[in-house]
Chains A and B, each alone.
Chain A
Amino acid sequence: MNLSPRDPATLTRRHFFGRCGMGLGSVALASLLDDRLRAEDAGAGAGIRPGHHRAKAKSVIFLFMAGGPSQLELFDWKPRLAALHGQPIPDSFLAGKRFAFMDSSFKNRTMLLGSKRTFARHGQSGTWISDLLPHTAGIADEIAVVRSCRTNLFNHAPAKLFMNTGSGQFGRPSMGSWLTYGLGSESRDLPGFVVLQSGPRGPRGGAVNWGSGFLPTSYQGVTLRGKGDPILDLSSPPGIDATRQRRVLDAIRDLNLKRSVETGDPEILTRIASYEMAYRMQSSAPELMELGRESDATLRLYGCDREQPGFARNCILARRLVERGTRFVQLYHTNWDSHGGTGETLETDFPARCREVDQACAALVKDLRSRGLLDSTLVVWGGEFGRTPMGEPREKTGRNHHIDAFSMWFAGGGVRGGQTIGETDELGFNVVADTAHVHDLHATMLHLLGLDHLRLTFRFQGRDYRLTDVEGEVLGKLIA
């Protein structure tokens, strides 16, 4: 499939004049244009498009743990690593590998670091989860933990880019852009691809992580801001109330329509649709952000304060976005980087990050389930890479970036929950079964949404590009 940004075959000028010339009244004319505008409805997506096959999921909520959480403290329990704690890692593991901070961290060989966390099996599935995620343990039978994830790049910004775009190079479209390009948006009032952020700073790399690359910018992620206007320039200028704004918009629409008929340029109709959607967003986005209608029970479930921006509030917003038809919601929560230095220790900082997200993540899955949305919403939890089995002694204890094995979890949206996929070796260094490379995760995500990763392409600089580049296999075990 090589979709164009818009289908030119809808309203030709001749067609329009043909109808108009037959003496349509203003009501019929209005309805004709309204149909056209509905088809043109802009925002990410320009209407809904069919996928390649029957979709299991309609939307994705990607909970991006920026910085790379340690799988060895959360999901990948390694008793053997604990037994070998303090010993050097065998040479066979390091041959030919490259790591971040090569010069500073590997001058002296670093020693194996056993996890100090307590692990237990949870749910009927008996999924291994550590004591740092008690709420996640409560949804063990809803989630599929994949312990065999792999990626290619070991520094934060390129690895984030890789997780989002399937490439470490700037300029490729992110997965949310590919999805809205492939499927369109189901929302008439809100963007199809929305990004929310919590934590002390933005994710490394910034906007390129949700950029549309060489796809049109209409497919780019729209960031909802915690303070001020949730969307840039959403509020009318000072002194312009809704009535005055509408009067201006009516005149813009009328004059643009007239020009569109004079020129036959369908671009003008798209612009009219954009203005109408912008106007609807002016009321729908504040309504989205207003949690007044959410019950106290719901807020308690998420551990959310109504007014307090943060991860829990963003999780509720993610559910509200999905309810309103947004295709792809991405939540970033930052500062998972655990090297052992100040602010990034495994002793105190890492558990604090876990507390910040654990309850709300579990609440989101439960809430989606109780509202009947989980089956059509794929929830993904994970970071850009994992951490090494070797410790990184700085002021306190930490672990370095690790690309050869890390854990993520998936729920809803056609995923078979209550299972653990993939195995790593006894130290948790390498994957030994069911490798789930980032390209495979992308292929699987597209598959669940009804898209074939081999056929979702866009021609750029003489080549048909895909989210999965020249790789990617659908992970059959993940699918219900």
Chain B
Amino acid sequence: MSRWLCRALAGIAALGLSGAFAAPTDGPAAPKSRSGPHWAFVAPARPPVPPGARHPIDAFLRRRLAQEALSPSPMADAVTRIRRVTLDLTGLPPTPAEVDAFVADARPDAWERLVERLLASPHHGERWARWWLDGARYADSNGYSIDGPRSVWPYRDWVVRALNADLPFDAFTRWQVAGDRIAAADPGLGTDPLVASGFNRNTQINHEGGIDPEQFRIESAIDRVNTTAAVWLGVTMGCAQCHDHKFDPFTQRDYFGLFAYFNSTDNDGHGASDYAATGPSVPLPSPEELPAMEAWQRQFARLRTESASATGAEATRLKAELAAHRKKKPPVAETLVMREATNARPTVIFVKGDFTRPGAPVTAATPESLPGRRVAADRPDRRQLADWLVSPANPLTARVLVNRVWQVYFGRGLVETENDFGTMGAPPSHPDLLDWLAVDFREHAWSLRHLHRVIVTSAAYQAAATADAGTLARDPRNRWFGRQTRLRLEAEQVRDNALAISGLLDRRIGGPPVFPPQPEGLGAFTQDRREWRASTGGDRVRRALYTQVQRATLHPAMAVFDAPDTFTTCTRRLRSDTPLQALMLLNDPAFHEIAVAFAARLARTEGTDRYRIALGCRRAFGRGPDAHESARLLELLAAERSAGSGEHGAWLAVARVLLNLDVTITRE
């Protein structure tokens, strides 16, 4: 403990500030009334906005705060706000020039202008695609024990494009649930809906020897039901796989009614001895690749027709030719898609969820206890399910979605159990605000961009993350959202932020997965040793969104900062804090490369040490250092110089400190 620190602390104490902190969840929810239907299963109506604030969100929040005799924290300073909103909307930090421009912008609508600029950034789609891909359990490998590679990245890129184009969430939903059927019915839409159907192909594929493929085909369909229920409905439908839901009004029949929608697709490749067998996919040739691809397809079709009717030696010859032709397929991008099998499979209930114990037959239908129920008249069609998910009668989809967006901005949802809107979940802290946001979202043509705009323009979003001592004592968990919350950056942002700070970031958007360097030997603990051939050039320093997602061995820089495991859907990220994170940021060769680049940048900047340290701080966490911080870093610089570390070595120490600070990897 240095004398420096005590001086610094004394200075802070004099200011008498207080701060907010994240805290664990409450105990069990209060007992709920049994008198009427559960709130979440009744469609929301737009409640009147209370008086007292310009912005509806603030009006709702302040009414509740007033009931609790609490007052909201004041607005955060301009630098904190621009760093916060830039990280939240694009996943990247603002540059010092952007910070200066905003601080100097005295126009009354400076904030709104900033928000519009960020929403229009192509990086906005990247940041929020990552959010959506958590729910989609997106990965670039097949999972289970073999975990071979797959090509579904065009689906990931479609999500980025769809969000950048603000594709309305109802279409966004329909295409992902039933895009294969929609594309077939309306060829004018092109391949995008088909690519979007890859949402449901992000299930694992089991290539292990000795398995029963039927068992895993069913596992995949079960995962599709559970994921749909978690992502759109926010309910724990999985409980009803084996028995009627213990707490919510979902029966096992309801479960298999949903299962029926997913029960007749082609096999994904489970049990195939060829690890490259990954089920239905669609080639996506670029305009330049198109002629070659079409020629190949024509020849393929000709050979197949001929070999179907050929006999004897002719048949053998054609078979060989067909095999040879298969290998000549032009190397164009492909992506996994959903495809209905020729013949529909009848669906039955599995007794206790066990597929070896078939029970009564079931018709495809949405859950009986939820409004606007649809029942399949004929062969189950996922378009029917998709239509119901985004129908005005559906009480859950819009609420669940706005809640998960809110959760990103405030660290906690209005419904804290974001994946359980059922009777065992937490009740909403602000039911009226939740419903207002849900209806407003739907009535603004399901525009996610509108939803983002509404939230980040509220005073609540822009508030300081600190509060006075009395407020802290009475609302330690920030249950009433009177202030903002400090949030450690998500795994991808930790890396992207460091790359951006150092100036190394390659901002190209889209394309096949890349392989940034990782320590050797990570595959040694897995069944199939896989070489990680590190990318070269700019692909080493792309955004983490594009890093190969290898399910069994996630890139350590992702895994260590709580990236989702991708085996099942993830609707909320954990935020852990471990020594392995410290080792990663301090010592990992990739992060050290970033520190070296950052140091070089500071070392070659013209100006005094004090100026260069200020610049380093501004790049790392937006604001310049205060006198104490500046003094501490100057002290380090001097110590390194006198220890003979050399000019670059001295700045390397400063760069390493800045990149490792809590404030650098935290959105304040």
Contact = CB atoms under 8 A, between A and B. Distances in A.
Contacts of A271: 577, 582, 662
Interface stretch (A98-106, A355-363, A374-382): A98-106
Contacts of B488: 267
Given A171-B568, A232-B583, A100 B210 contact: yes
A33 interface: yes
B577 A267 contact: yes
Contact of A208 (B18, B520, B565, B574): B565
Q: Chain B contact residues: over half helix, strand or loop, or mixed?
A: loop
Contacts, number: 293
Given A157-B527, A206-B526, A208-B565, A26 B1 contact: yes
B18 A13 contact: yes
Nearest to A17: B13
A155 interface: yes
Interface stretch (B154-162, B287-295, B533-541, B585-593): B585-593
A469 B225 CA distance: 22
Interface stretch (B65-73, B379-387, B416-424): B416-424
Given A14-B18, A232-B583, A251-B657, A43 B556 contact: no
Given A202-B527, A278-B583, A237 B3 contact: no
Interface stretch (A73-81, A142-150, A242-250, A448-456): A242-250
Interface stretch (A133-141, A222-230, A404-412): A222-230
Contacts of B583: 231-234, 278, 281-282
Interface residues of A, number: 99
Interface in A227-277: 227-229, 231-237, 239, 243-245, 247-252, 254-268, 270-272, 274-275, 277
B145 A462 contact: no
A205 B527 contact: yes
Nearest to B485: A265
B1 A30 contact: yes
B170 interface: no
Nearest to B592: A237
B577 A247 contact: no
B587 A233 contact: yes
Contacts of B529: 201-202
A328 to B, nearest CB: 16
A104 B578 CA distance: 47
A248 B656 contact: yes
A442 interface: no
A154 to B, nearest CB: 8
A42 interface: yes
Contacts of A247: 636, 639-640, 643, 653
Given A155-B210, A248-B657, A8 B1 contact: no
Contacts of B422: 462
B410 interface: no
A71 B577 CA distance: 42
Interface stretch (A123-131, A210-218, A297-305): A210-218
A202 B587 contact: no
Contact of B13 (A20, A201, A227, A270): A20
B145 A461 contact: no
A254 B5 contact: yes
Contacts of B305: none
A325 B592 CA distance: 31
Contacts of A281: 579, 583
B360 interface: no
B26 to A, nearest CB: 11
Nearest to A46: B577
A239 B17 CA distance: 41
Contact of B25 (A203, A207, A237, A459): A459
Task: Determine the interface band of chain B, counting residues with CB < 8 A from chain A.
Answer: 35 or more
A267 B19 contact: no
A21 B212 CA distance: 69
A45 B585 CA distance: 21
B165 interface: no
Interface in B185-221: 204, 208-212
A263 B486 contact: yes
Interface string B163-183: 000000000000000000000
Contacts of A259: 661-663
B454 interface: no
Nearest to B628: A258
Contacts of B230: 461
Contact of B145 (A156, A169, A252, A264): A156
Contacts of B640: 244, 247
A206 to B, nearest CB: 4
A236 B586 contact: yes
B565 A171 contact: yes
A129 B580 CA distance: 43
B472 A13 contact: yes
Interface of B: 1-6, 8-10, 12-13, 16-25, 143-145, 147, 204, 208-212, 230, 236, 238-239, 247, 356, 417, 419-420, 422, 424-425, 465-466, 469, 472-473, 476, 486, 488, 519-521, 523-527, 529, 552-554, 556, 559-560, 562, 565, 567-568, 574, 576-584, 586-589, 592, 595, 628-629, 632-633, 635-636, 639-640, 643, 645, 649, 653, 656-657, 660-663, 668
23 contacts: A6-B24, A12-B472, A26-B1, A42-B579, A43-B578, A155-B208, A170-B143, A170-B204, A197-B524, A206-B147, A207-B559, A216-B562, A251-B635, A251-B653, A256-B663, A258-B5, A263-B668, A267-B486, A277-B579, A277-B582, A278-B586, A281-B579, A401-B210
9 tightest A-B contacts by CB? A264-B19, A4-B24, A462-B420, A170-B567, A157-B145, A30-B1, A278-B582, A263-B19, A202-B525
